[in-house]
Chains A and B, each alone.
Chain A
């Protein structure tokens, strides 16, 4: 909608993806979408959508809201965003510049998966690679000790990066099925939990188990889940395992720092 809108270009720059996201969220004041939907409808990769959303949030044009394990985005109700909305909706639209326009259905994620040609079992669509639907089970309470889990922010994952939350929640759903009662908690930590995410940061997950007897066995159990989500979302999901006793009691090393910033998934 705003791809050829000169006011949009002046206000938010030349990024086509940014303007598509703006169109989704600003043009319709009632729109409230989660990352994956925005990514799909903007025809881009999760990483790009996440980066552009972060820019729009920090510019005050878009607001993010956490609800259970999901993070939603909507157009901001701030005076600046409202003014921009009316400007954008009334500004003249220029004809597309054939030299600059992206081809219909252009999708960085699709390009990257096409680079891995001949991938068996992967269905592609015009908008990109199809990703199997998955279930994200909301946590009704922190697994144990909310003060340990979410001490820092005013709301769940308020500063956390959307891609980090999405990848973390996807892996978390699989780990719950792998571990059942052994699982005591899954936390997002590191740059993607604390905000200000560098573009190629890992999604760092800390997995708390009842006990850890052989570290390698836990890596092996979770190997496929982490690798498949990493491939699907084009981000590296990294996990570390900690016993419940260490998570509760260890005061040396980096664990106290991680406890302070961790976001429970």
Chain B
């Protein structure tokens, strides 16, 4: 595993811990935002190991889709989850849409955990 991928996974774990804490405290907007950050960091770690280092949210989602969205290397549903998490974060900002519901935030947190574990496994096999 590259040092940067390792750092990204540490960052993922921090974001996950914050997401769980905020969900517990019923701050569902922040929980959704942190869950999205965790998913993005996991995706970046995955891409890093795969030889790509995109920067912005859009670039990460696009690069992840190209490299993993249709491949059997990781479950293709993770790509959907990543896009859904980003859209939930956008809604949680409240400028356009909202309010978001607690179940949506809880689902995002749960998916971020599953994705994080899958990415860690992928990195272990390929990093």
Contacts and interface: CB of A to CB of B under 8 A. Distances in A.
Interface of A: 112-113, 115-120, 122, 200-202, 206, 212, 214-217, 219-220, 223-224, 226-227, 230-231, 234-242, 246, 253-255, 258
A207 to B, nearest CB: 9
A217 B84 CA distance: 11
B58 A255 contact: no
A212 B104 CA distance: 13
Contact of B79 (A231, A238, A258): A231
Contacts of B87: 219, 226, 238-240
A236 B61 contact: yes
Interface string B52-85: 0000101101100111111110000001100110
B96 A242 contact: yes
Given A116-B71, A200-B62, 9 more contacts: A115-B67, A215-B98, A216-B104, A223-B83, A230-B61, A236-B83, A238-B83, A240-B90, A255-B96
22 contacts: A113-B70, A117-B71, A119-B70, A120-B70, A122-B70, A201-B58, A214-B104, A215-B99, A216-B88, A216-B107, A223-B80, A227-B65, A227-B69, A230-B61, A231-B65, A234-B65, A236-B58, A236-B83, A239-B87, A253-B94, A253-B96, A254-B95
Nearest to B52: A115
A237 to B, nearest CB: 8
Main secondary structure of the interface of A (DSSP, over half): mixed
A212 B101 CA distance: 10
B100 interface: yes
Given A215-B101, A230-B65, A241 B70 contact: no
B62 A226 contact: no
A241 B101 contact: no
B104 A219 contact: yes
Contacts of A215: 88, 91, 97-101, 104
B97 A234 contact: no
Contact of B91 (A234, A241, A258): A241
A174 to B, nearest CB: 14
Contacts of B65: 227, 230-231, 234, 236
A234 B67 CA distance: 11
B124 interface: no
Nearest to A231: B69
A223 B62 contact: no
Contacts, number: 104
A115 B61 CA distance: 15
Contacts of B19: none
B70 A235 contact: no
> Which 9 A-B pairs rank lowest in CB-CB distance, beginning with the nearest?
A216-B104, A119-B70, A116-B70, A227-B80, A116-B71, A254-B95, A253-B95, A215-B100, A240-B97
Contacts of A227: 65, 69, 79-80, 83
A112 B65 CA distance: 10
A263 to B, nearest CB: 16
A265 to B, nearest CB: 17
A200 B98 CA distance: 26
Contacts of B103: 214, 216
B37 to A, nearest CB: 16
A64 B59 CA distance: 28
Contact of A241 (B56, B67, B80, B97): B97
B96 A234 contact: no
A20 to B, nearest CB: 23
A235 B62 contact: yes
A119 B59 CA distance: 21
